[in-house]
Amino acid sequence: MIIVHDIFVCKPGNASKVAKLFKEWADVLPKKNVHVMTDMTGQFHRVIIASNYDNLAAYEVETKNIGQTPKEKVVMEKFKDMNDMYVSGSREIYKVW
């Protein structure tokens, strides 16, 4: 299994907005073990989206299919202005032993 963390460092005042967008997106996903987290320690204004996959191949399939269902398309439309809400981002992929 792998765990993927998509990390967004938001502009001040936008972390909760970004977290709400991702929470709405996570709620329409058909399966998933997706968690939307905000920081309590460390760097300020971070939103971390944590998701689990069986392997890298499964992760790759999922990323290709993001936003394909009608419900996801509606939510994804709300993300159109997200680039203005964050400063930087990164992705961390962990293998679970």
Check residue 31 and give its pLDDT: 62
Residue 38's domain comprises: 2-95
The total of structural domains in the chain comes to: 1
Distance CA 75, CA 77 (A): 5
Q: What is the pTM of this model?
A: 0.85
Residue-wise pLDDT for 32-88, tens only, equals: 678 999 988 888 899 999 999 999 999 998 888 777 777 777 877 888 888 889 999
Query: What CATH number has the domain bearing residue 47?
Result: 3.30.70.100
Distance CA 90, CA 88 (A): 7
Distance CA 72, CA 25 (A): 7
Check residue 10 and give its pLDDT: 94
